[in-house]
């Protein structure tokens, strides 16, 4: 039965029931898991796409980064504006439906330009995710449990990693054995096309659950000023905090997105590991450690806050990012596949600290009535810098070093040590300004 769209409660400070709040968080997390699977499955399929469409590493970088990221980030701004004013759960349900359908469409179209357009559609759909989630979870969970809620949400990346690498790897291997998939009116899909088509469909499940079983919560803790008038002075007053937070995390994520895009190709070219076999191995172990990392980030951030550390959220964020950036650099320089595999497993554990605590920090330093737009600005910054440049820079460096088979490895080392690590340091530089921003919050 549909729960309708009327607010679930109406009183200031009256958060929804505990169990119901976690139910909603679980549905959003499931949606994020499928979104992340849709986002990164292209990495597993890249060698086959390149062989079939005859594209180089730079073009593959455009497909993995630019096609998705530019529209994912730019559409986040108007969608964040709507999320601050309209029905957030309805918008998110529409977005989930959109990105799922467009992922399946990647397997139905023919040729690089049409796949590029389908990836743009995936990005536009996923642009609803962060602004709506940041705003919704802030009204479902009080500050003392909010980091835990965002820890669950970001664990969707680990679940999505498992679904993409292990689930996607198994599906891809099966279609290779079958020779593809034949659909009525469409004809024969090649194994990589069939994989795209199948992995896009499950995202319709959380979209349906969100639309039919979740009610829009009341907006809590709103300030008296109109949001349009409040946002520009907020940006001006808190510029230092926002720059260190947004840009620092974005620089760190350059390495994360670079590895997500090129990880199977890196192990293929550097160590001869089959992409499908690698994906299955990494999905099982990497997603497990990533899940524990995401949940531990919420625990560490909340524990530091309870201990009286006002900037505990950003302190843990910076330290986790520094460890992850260092680990990523070492991963790309390892002499054997086994040592690189272990190094990246450890790296993946700490990578989620910036994801969890970056979102949590926004809920701490941004007033409710502009929170979705601050989140959208954050997504714009991280998307344009990291989701676009991470895959693309690695591809450009690799093409520049051809025919060196270690080009991907060199590219990953450069973006990790030269971009991600300074980004982690910038997050730490922002601790002082972040403390001042918290002190100005009502």
> Using an 8 Å Cβ cutoff, are 245 and 430 in contact?
yes
Confidence of residue 15 (pLDDT cuts 50, 70, 90): confident
In whole angstroms, what is the distance from residue 371 CA to residue 360 CA? 11
Q: Is 5 a domain residue? A: no
Predicted confidence band of residue 178 (pLDDT cuts 50, 70, 90)? very high
Question: Quick check: 5 pLDDT over 60?
Answer: no
Q: Is residue 30 assigned to a domain?
A: yes
Residue-wise pLDDT tens digits, 243-290:
999 999 999 999 999 998 898 899 999 999 988 788 888 888 888 888
Radius of gyration over every alpha carbon of the chain, rounded to an integer in angstroms: 21
Question: What CATH number is given to the structural domain containing 321?
Answer: 1.20.1250.20
Q: What pLDDT, on the 0 to 100 scale, is given for residue 6? A: 41
Specify whether the CB–CB gap between 394 and 409 falls below 8 A. no
Query: With contact defined as beta carbons under 8 Å apart, do 324 and 251 qualify?
Result: no
Nearest alpha-carbon partner for 219 in 12, 4, 431: 12
The answer, yes or no, to whether residue 198 has pLDDT greater than 70, is yes
Portion of the chain with pLDDT greater than 70, in percent: 95
Number of domains in the chain: 1
Mean pLDDT of 158-175: 88
Minimal CA–CA distance to 71: which of 82, 83, 62?
62
Domain-embedded: residue 13 = no
Paired tokens of 396? 């450009």
What value, to the nearest 5°, has the Cα angle with vertex 354 and ends 350 and 356? 100
Tell me: pLDDT of 348 over 70.
yes
**Cα(51)–Cα(40) distance, integer angstroms:** 19
Which residue is it, tokens 């940041």? Answer: 134
Cβ atoms of residues 351 and 296 within 8 Å: no
Residue 13's pLDDT is what? 52
Q: Residue 265: which residues within 8 A CB-CB, separation 6 or more?
A: 43, 46, 47, 275, 408
pLDDT tens per residue, range 200-226: 999 999 999 999 999 999 887 654 434
Range of the domain at 250: 18-218+229-440
Residue 61 confidence (pLDDT) above 90: no
Nearest to 204 by CA among 95, 282, 307, 295: 95
Give the containing element (helix H, strand E) for 352: helix 337-365
Residues in the chain, total: 442
**Assessment of whether the complete model's pTM goes beyond 0.95:** no
DSSP per-residue string spanning 309-336:
-TTHHHHHHHHHHHHHHHHHHHHHH-SS
Average pLDDT of every residue of the chain: 88
Angstrom distance (rounded) from CA 107 to CA 62: 18
| 262 part of a folded domain | yes
Q: What is the mean pLDDT of residues 311-338?
A: 96
Q: Is residue 1 part of a domain?
A: no
Rounded to 5°, the CA angle 83-86-92 comes to: 55
424 lies in a domain?
A: yes
244 within domain boundaries? yes
Report if residue 6 sits inside a domain. Answer: no
The gap between the terminal CA atoms of the chain, to the nearest Å, is 39
């Amino acid at each position: 039965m549909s729960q309708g769209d009327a607010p679930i409660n109406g009183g200031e400070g009256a958060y929804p029931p505990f169990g119901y709040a976690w139910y909603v968080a679980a549905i959003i997390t499931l949606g994020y898991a499928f979104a992340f699977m849709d986002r990164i499955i292209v990495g597993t399929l890249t060698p086959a796409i390149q062989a079939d469409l005859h594209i180089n590493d730079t073009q593959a970088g455009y497909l993995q980064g630019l096609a998705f990221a530019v529209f994912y980030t730019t559409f986040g701004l108007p969608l964040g504006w709507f999320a601050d004013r309209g029905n957030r759960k309805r918008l998110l349900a529409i977005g989930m439906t959109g990105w799922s359908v467009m992922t399946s469409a990647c397997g139905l179209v023919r040729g690089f330009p049409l796949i590029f357009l389908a990836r743009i559609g995936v990005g536009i759909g996923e642009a609803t995710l962060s602004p709506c989630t940041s705003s919704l979870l802030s009204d479902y969970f009080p500050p003392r449990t909010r980091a835990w809620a965002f820890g669950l949400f970001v664990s969707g990346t680990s679940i999505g990693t498992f679904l993409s690498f292990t689930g996607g790897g198994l599906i891809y291997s099966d279609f290779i054995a079958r020779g593809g998939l034949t659909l009525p009116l469409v004809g024969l899909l090649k194994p990589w096309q069939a994989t795209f088509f199948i992995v896009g469909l499950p995202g319709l499940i959380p979209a349906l659950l969100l639309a039919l079983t979740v009610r829009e919560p009341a907006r809590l803790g709103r300030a008296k000023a109109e949001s349009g008038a409040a946002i520009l002075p907020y940006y001006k007053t808190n510029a230092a905090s926002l720059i260190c937070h947004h840009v620092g995390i974005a620089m760190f994520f350059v390495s994360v997105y670079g590895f997500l895009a090129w990880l199977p190709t890196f192990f293929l070219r550097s160590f001869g590991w089959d992409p499908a076999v690698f994906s299955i191995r990494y999905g099982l172990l990497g997603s497990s450690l990533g899940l524990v990392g995401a949940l531990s980030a919420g625990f560490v951030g909340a524990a530091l806050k309870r201990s009286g550390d006002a900037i505990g959220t950003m302190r843990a964020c910076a330290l986790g990012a520094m460890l992850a950036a260092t680990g990523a650099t070492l991963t790309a320089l390892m002499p054997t596949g086994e040592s690189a595999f272990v190094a990246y497993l450890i790296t993946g554990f700490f990578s989620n600290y910036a994801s969890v605590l970056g979102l949590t920090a926004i809920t701490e330093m941004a007033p409710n009535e502009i929170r979705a737009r601050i989140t959208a600005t954050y997504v714009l910054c991280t998307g344009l810098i990291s989701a676009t440049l991470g895959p693309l820079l690695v591809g450009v460096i690799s093409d520049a070093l051809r025919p060196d088979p270690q080009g991907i490895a060199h590219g990953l080392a450069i973006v990790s040590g030269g971009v991600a690590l300074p980004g982690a340091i910038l997050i730490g530089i922002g601790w002082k300004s972040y403390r001042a921003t918290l002190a100005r919050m009502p």
